[in-house]
Amino acid sequence: MSESKTTTNHDEIRQWAQDRGGRPAVVRTRGEGGILRIDFGEPEEEFEAIEWDEFFRIFDQNDLAFLYQDETGGGKTSRFNKFIERNQSG
């Protein structure tokens, strides 16, 4: 069984994403900021690539936490991730 972890540590999030070939991205909405995503592989058309500084500004401004898995249930590297409210447990 795979285990989920939650963090707000910027360095930990950046390292996890980079280890999997992920890049910071956002889906722009009408409001300020947007919906954060980690983009893997070929860039998704609806995702706008952003710098890590902007990514973490939006992350902190929206009081988010990063829910993620290091490995799948089968022991392979997992890319599962989700952004949740900081006061929500994973």
Q: Percent of the chain at pLDDT above 70? A: 90
| Residue in the structure block whose two tokens are 């058309």 | 45
Integer Cα distance of 43 and 3 in angstroms: 28
Are β-strands 81-85 and 48-49 bridged in parallel, bridged antiparallel, or unpaired? Answer: unpaired
Residue 32: the pLDDT is: 67
Q: Percent of the chain at pLDDT above 90? A: 73
Report field, pTM of the whole predicted structure over 0.85: yes
Mean pLDDT of the chain: 90
Integer Cα distance of 78 and 59 in angstroms: 21
Residue 29: the pLDDT is: 77
